[in-house]
């Protein structure tokens, strides 16, 4: 059996984030429906549109790597999404719901940030220079979304959740 290479790891991680993005695409409308604030609803729907673009960019990265765009079950994202669903259930109708949704969304963002950051470094190492700007564009969107979520939590959701106590 041939030794696994960085290229193999790159492709496996690409499959992981591709699967994750597709799962996130399914989860975002549910989160938008559950959110109580209009700002939260709009934010989740906007990120759904961004996620569609991120999936399209990943398909291009697969092409650059000479591989078919295929996902591989990502246990991590399944767990993070399941935690978000628990929050939606347990805090439904509660003033803390939006704070919980933001927390769940940030766990997703941090996972994506870690994956995209790693893929960028590996793409550079592997000489996949055309893949780098595609991955960087997705990373920049994930980081911007994380900052928006932090701002929404600090200026609105967390305040509402605290006042209810």
pLDDT digits (tens, 9 = 90+) for 7-31: 999 999 999 999 999 999 999 999 9
50, part of any domain: yes
Is 80 exceeded by the pLDDT of residue 85? Answer: yes
147, part of any domain: yes
Confidence of residue 99 (pLDDT cuts 50, 70, 90): very high
CA dihedral 126, 119, 144, 150 (to 10 degrees): -150
Q: For residue 160, which of 152, 146, 144 has the smallest C-alpha distance? A: 152
Range of the domain at 138: 6-164
1, part of any domain: no
What is the value of pTM for the model shown? 0.93
118, part of any domain: yes
- Return the CATH number at 81: 1.20.1260.10
Domain count, the chain: 1
pLDDT digits (tens, 9 = 90+) for 37-71: 999 999 999 999 999 999 999 999 999 999 999 99
Q: By percentage, how much of the chain surpasses pLDDT 70?
A: 99
Angle of helix 75-90 versus helix 97-125 axis, rounded to 10: 170
């Amino acid at each position: 059996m041939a030794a696994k290479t960085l290229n193999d790891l790159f492709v496996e991680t690409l499959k992981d984030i591709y699967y994750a993005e597709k799962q996130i695409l399914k989860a975002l409308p549910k989160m938008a429906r559950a959110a109580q604030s209009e700002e939260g609803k709009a934010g989740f729907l906007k990120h759904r549109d961004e996620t569609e673009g991120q999936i399209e960019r990943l398909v291009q990265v697969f092409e650059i790597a000479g591989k078919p765009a295929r996902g591989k079950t990502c246990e991590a994202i399944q767990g993070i999404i399941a935690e978000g669903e628990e929050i939606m259930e347990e805090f439904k109708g509660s003033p803390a719901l939006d704070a919980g949704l933001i927390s769940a969304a940030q766990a997703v963002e941090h996972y994506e940030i870690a994956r995209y950051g790693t893929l960028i470094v590996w793409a550079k190492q592997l000489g996949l220079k055309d893949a780098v700007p595609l991955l960087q564009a997705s990373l920049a969107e994930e980081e911007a979304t994380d900052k928006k979520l932090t701002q929404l939590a600090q200026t609105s959701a967390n305040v509402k959740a605290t006042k209810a106590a």
